Structure 1
Amino acid sequence: MKLIWSPETASKAYIDTVKSCETFSESSVAELVSAMAAGWNATLIVETWCQGGDIATSIGLAVASHHTGGRHICIVPDEESRSDYNNAITKSGLLVQVIVGGAIEAMEGLDGIDFLVVDCKQDEYERILRVAKLGQRGAVLVCKNASSRDGLGFGWRSLVDGKSRIVRSVFLPVGKGLDIAHVGAKTGHVKGDKRKWIKHIDTQSGEEFVIRK
């Protein structure tokens, strides 16, 4: 099994997020991630949030989980952050499961993540991506506020385990920058299958494609 794209579900989530975030001046990120999470039929959506962070993205992910029937979990660092987060999300009329504590430790108890959003403003965002237990169907990984990141040494391939592969990655100038990667379904080695994965990088866009030959 692998993640299957549903344009109809993506459209519904996008429209509902537009309505839910109409009071926010910068909701383009929320609409995009909502459409992606719903379109890929994510069943376990996880995000990290810090005090003072954007709440619109959380609203978009909550809307997506409503359309997929999945779980939406937000990890916050402390009780003060949880209070601020709950107050903000409650005003939207949505409910989100919140985990308080270090994101690295919280990831240990979450298995089968198929949509993950982290904030590049967090010092440990790369470690969070490395320890995340992704689903067998594959996953979509999103780094928001990516424009503020020191890009030296960053590479998606180094952030996923050896059983996974990056199908495609792209940087979008949406909001303060979104760096997105689609991780393929985990597969074991098939006896007698000598086909190889060929990597190609578009020199103009920087997008990475993996083709099976």
Structure 2
Amino acid sequence: MACWSAENATKAYLRTLKMGKRNKQPDVAEFVSALAAGNSAQLMVDVCSGIAGATTLALFVIGNAESLLTNYYKGADFVLIDCKLDGHESVFRAGLLVTRIPATNKGEDTREVSSRLSQMQQLIQEAEELASSARNEPTPTITLDHVSVSFARSSGPGGQNVNKVNTKVDMRFNVKKAYWLSERIRERILQLEKNRINKDGEIVIASTKTRTQKGNIEDALAKLQAIIDAAAYVPPPPSEEQKKKLAKMAAVGEQKRLQSKKALSQKKVFRRTRDRYD
């Protein structure tokens, strides 16, 4: 069944209007001219359902869409009609079929949902590929060769040893120049630790956990390793059950969006029709 949205109905109308301008029939030319000039006419776009074989999209100047859905237009996918009054608002002269455009967007609502699902499936596929590549990629291990270290005297209690020996460790790790890490991990660290990285692209770790240089060096390296591990972690892809749940949620959300959009469109049409005959 053909299914037209308001956006595609407008596009189809503009296309039909261009086709009508090229038409040599006097009545068609007159109708197109009336539309172009306004002619105190109200142009309405109404998406009508319930016709066997297709949904008819009627573009008309004056009138009620329900009055036009006769067997004469049964199966038409797109109908541009000149509805002229004949003494009474509810009496119409036979409509003029200007052109018929194939329903190239049949099942569009379904396609919009499928488009969203397709995007979701693409994201899921990318997550699966990323998880697969991460499984084959060993977690990098940081060493003293990858950092620069300086020492200072620790503060606080600890006896005379603290005041005499430089046990405090200041360790600097330049993320931007850490080419031994994969690009994915480097970018992830820059994202996760953006508030701790200085203008030179360095993460500075200070450690006074122990009373020895060796212990504080190991502590600082452990902190940097935790940062790298967090950046290297790739969550597992969703299970089949989770995929079905995500697909269902996307379909329901899209259906609600379309229903809300259709209700708003019908409300606007009703207001325009009421104002026209007030």
* Normalised-by-shorter TM-score class: under 0.3
Q: Of Structure 1 and Structure 2, which has the larger fraction of its residues in helix?
A: 2
TM-score (norm 1): 0.25
Q: Of Structure 1 and Structure 2, which has the larger fraction of its residues in strand?
A: 1
TM-score (norm 2): 0.20
